[in-house]
Structure 1
């Protein structure tokens, strides 16, 4: 199989606080607190490793609290090619409301990344992204980096023959999509809100979401996936469109579900699956992750059962 590589420039230690119910402006008693090393690319890499695929994780970590990442990647069998720089990786707070199942995210500022650190991280990424590699560029950018960082990296990767899967939002996503054809990613995975932000309009209906997704595909992006939360996901490729919905499951945590979907998409693309099986695998990865507290998949047999249970509908 082609090499699989992820990049996380703004990782985080995710601290999840479990509450009976979140009521703004009041005092709460936490029922549980759990922490795990995270960040979109880290989560994607962990899910790919759980599926049994060799994967390399690159990016930038603060050396002062890198131990949770080192331990997690070693435990999962992920090749750790992160650059360690002085300082601490940020901590993100996630408030889980047990009454509704909703999670409220409070994302703290990341490390200040200097140009030389970005250059070293870029070199590590390119070193491991051989010609036929699949590369995930995922997550927010540290504040000091320019918004066209992903566009610049995608251009370098495409020049080497690698295929880029981009999972970003806001100005970094817009900059990557506005870049020329030599810098545009092979696949993107916005959620509905991120797609609305890019399109500059509300997308209240399935037809509106699909129309915006078609706009993205028409930019020359072969694979567009729009995650729709509990409503599943829309998969748009040059071969057509598929809507996929997960079966009913007991949700342990929604944290990292979108990252698991990206991992399933990447595994399917690297495996050359057809659009229907690609949609099934991606949604099954996301559904399986929902049953887990951390950025992990359940046993492979459970994910395969979910793949069979995913409902897909071809769209003309």
Structure 2
């Protein structure tokens, strides 16, 4: 039995290329190029495995280049629930520069037909999740309602669902009457589906409205400006930690992993805020879906500055104390 299962419908092999500076239209000489099995749910599962949580990952992979995924799952002891399909998983190019700026070039994924989804639900059922993470983009061939349909189905089965999607799939999910357990958009993703969010007070009001409508945990990530957390315990703001940035790719997925880790230990809202912020900061120090050692992440969590959301709005953002 696996307590946490992640679902990735549009995985990718992430090719991270390091440059001194990206100048469009010019020829560049890269310092390095590193390939990692990726996709949002894969990244979440990998970080959870580093934390020591029992986790499985499922979805669809192209059989033609499955080796990086099988190696990652074996090395991290992630349960491999992926369904293999003819063809190859897409490759995404991540161009990184000193200071953490990253330029993404994402290729289209394997087309997935809707008649494959019953097989996926059967695979999820066999993994027996208590917490199901649905995250990432949709491949060609699937309706934007797919994530909302899956969330509704599994919550009716008594499974808690954490949703991390954007655009039309997020809009569809937020329009449903069924209650989501947790959702983690960033500010821009939330504004794209809910309307303009002119300031932090409006952002807090929107997050609280989602919670009142039945979403148990609402987390709005603000990138380098921290994150907002709303649950029945109240509303908190977590300041960003000042860490050396190697790559920002997957930091949001690491935050989701931190939320899952906290949920698995029935953590308080403050602990969830500290842990998810620390996961994201730890991931910034790594290329690929990896965390620093557990004791380092706990040290980061202890250093996170937390404020009541109202104080954050009234007095301005806090700054993290940790640096490296």
8 Å contact kept, 1:187–1:224: yes
Counterpart of 2:11 in structure 1 is 11
Counterpart of 1:160 in structure 2 is 157
SS in structure 2 at match of 1:23: coil
Select which of 226, 232, 235 maps to 1:232.
226
Counterpart of 1:185 in structure 2 is 180
**Cα offset, 1:240, TM superposition:** 0.5
Counterpart of 2:194 in structure 1 is 199
Counterpart of 2:293 in structure 1 is 299
Counterpart of 1:105 in structure 2 is 104
In structure 1, distance between residues paired with 2:2 and 2:89: 30
Counterpart of 2:87 in structure 1 is 87
1:276 is the counterpart of 2:270: yes
Counterpart of 1:149 in structure 2 is 146
SS in structure 1 at match of 2:34: strand
Query: Number of paired residues?
Result: 310
Counterpart of 2:66 in structure 1 is 66
**Cα offset, 1:204, TM superposition:** 4.4
1:259 is the counterpart of 2:259: no
SS in structure 2 at match of 1:208: helix
| TM-score of the superposed pair, with normalisation by structure 2 | 0.92
In structure 2, distance between residues paired with 1:192 and 1:37: 27
Q: String of CA shifts for 1:172-209, please: whole Å, max 9, x gaps.
A: 1111111222xx421010011101111121x3422122
Q: String of CA shifts for 1:117-172, please: whole Å, max 9, x gaps.
A: 22211211132234xx0110010011101111111111111111000000000011
**Cα offset, 1:61, TM superposition:** 0.3
Select which of 168, 173, 197 maps to 1:171.
168
8 Å contact kept, 2:228–2:309: no
1:125 is the counterpart of 2:135: no
- Structure 1 runs not aligned, ≥5 long: none
- CA change 1:170–1:313 in 2 (3 A) is same
Aligned CA-pair RMSD: 1.4
8 Å contact kept, 1:129–1:157: no
In structure 1, distance between residues paired with 2:214 and 2:23: 45
In structure 2, distance between residues paired with 1:43 and 1:33: 18
8 Å contact kept, 1:7–1:138: yes
In structure 2, distance between residues paired with 1:256 and 1:140: 14
8 Å contact kept, 1:255–1:294: yes
8 Å contact kept, 2:2–2:127: no
- CA change 1:197–1:129 in 2 (3 A) is farther
Q: Which moved more, 1:232-241 or 1:213-222?
A: 213-222
1:309 is the counterpart of 2:303: yes
8 Å contact kept, 2:204–2:309: no
Moved over 3 A (4+): none
In structure 2, distance between residues paired with 1:239 and 1:59: 34
